[in-house]
Structure 1
């Protein structure tokens, strides 16, 4: 397998993390976004939207980070990571939607403002980030994982941008349950660290 990726992207880290947690042999192909490699004709054949990550598995190409998580869990028959019961699958899908919605427009967007001078309103983005973190904090109040009694792709989907939320000046210090959950994810066999950005972060 080949994973087209870039180091500072939480979307890419999700895919890298899942591959590593599953112990899947893969090659990382770094895509230089600053040089516009994601807009090249060659890359657009892989993903017409010009976005990373992209997973290539033989003749099959999978774009979108949460789609990659689903594909990997299904390919390797890992119902522990993606339940096959209607309730379990629905509960995981709920958090995949949060990853693509509230997380993307909250903690991830706050980090984009700091790292890449994204033009979004930092006050609105910060409020959105704190709101979703509050929901997750409450959800983890009586359980160790987002779905059930063990980790699933829901945890993988949310981990990266929450782990680096402080790089967007979103303070995690008041979210005890979230911090404990981050440490549990980081203790999983096969965990790979999401690279820290070179910009100053809040404590």
Structure 2
């Protein structure tokens, strides 16, 4: 397998983290976002949206970080990471939607301001980030991982931008359950760290 990625992309890290947690041999292919490699014609053939990550699996192309998580779990029949049970699967899907929505417009957007100079209103994204973290912290008060007692792809989808939230000036100090959850994920066999950037509260 090949993973087209960028080390500062939380979306890329989701895919890389799951590949590593599953111990799947893969080749990392750097897409230089600063030089516009994601908009080059050859990359747009892989993903017309011009976004990383992209997974290439023996001629099969999968784009979108959450879609890659689903693809890998289904291909390898890892029901521990993506349950077949209807209710459990629905709970996982709920948090995948949060990863694509509230996470993107909260902690991820806050980090985009400090790391990439994105033109967002800091007070708005910080408010959204803290409102979301309060909900996640409350959810994690009842079980070790976001859906149950064991990790699922929902945890992988949420991890990267929450772990890096301080880079976007989002303080995690008030969220004890979130911080304990981050530590549990980081203790999983095969965990790979999301590259840190010394900005925001992490400076």
Question: TM-score if structure 2 supplies the norm length?
Answer: 0.98
2: CA distance, partners of 1:91 / 1:153: 11
Residue 35 of structure 2 aligns to a residue in which SS?
Answer: coil
Structure 2 unaligned segments of length 5 or more: list them.
Answer: none
Residue 28 of structure 1 aligns to a residue in which SS?
Answer: strand
Write the mapping of 1:140-155 to structure 2, written as runs, cut at 5 A: 140-155=140-155
2: CA distance, partners of 1:148 / 1:142: 9
Matching residue of 1:8 = 8
Matching residue of 2:45 = 45
Residue 201 of structure 1 aligns to a residue in which SS?
Answer: helix
Deviation at 1:71, TM superposition (A): 0.4
Matching residue of 1:113 = 113
User: What are the superposed Cα offsets for residues 74-105 of structure 1, whole Å, 9 maximum, x if unpaired?
Assistant: 01110000001111111100000000000000
User: What are the superposed Cα offsets for residues 112-170 of structure 1, whole Å, 9 maximum, x if unpaired?
Assistant: 00111111100000000000000000001111011121000000000000001000000
2: CA distance, partners of 1:171 / 1:39: 34
Deviation at 1:198, TM superposition (A): 3.5
Deviation at 1:65, TM superposition (A): 0.1
2: CA distance, partners of 1:161 / 1:76: 26
Write the mapping of 1:1-203 to structure 2, written as runs, cut at 5 A: 1-202=1-202
1: CA distance, partners of 2:170 / 2:200: 12
Residue 62 of structure 1 aligns to a residue in which SS?
Answer: strand
Determine if contact 1:170/1:202 at 8 Å carries over to the other structure: no
Deviation at 1:202, TM superposition (A): 4.5
Residue 33 of structure 2 aligns to a residue in which SS?
Answer: coil
Residue 119 of structure 1 aligns to a residue in which SS?
Answer: coil
Determine if contact 1:91/1:147 at 8 Å carries over to the other structure: yes
Determine if contact 1:171/1:202 at 8 Å carries over to the other structure: no
Determine if contact 1:141/1:177 at 8 Å carries over to the other structure: yes
2: CA distance, partners of 1:128 / 1:13: 22
Structure 1 unaligned segments of length 5 or more: list them.
Answer: none
**What count of residue pairs does the alignment treat as equivalent?**
203
Residue 56 of structure 2 aligns to a residue in which SS?
Answer: strand
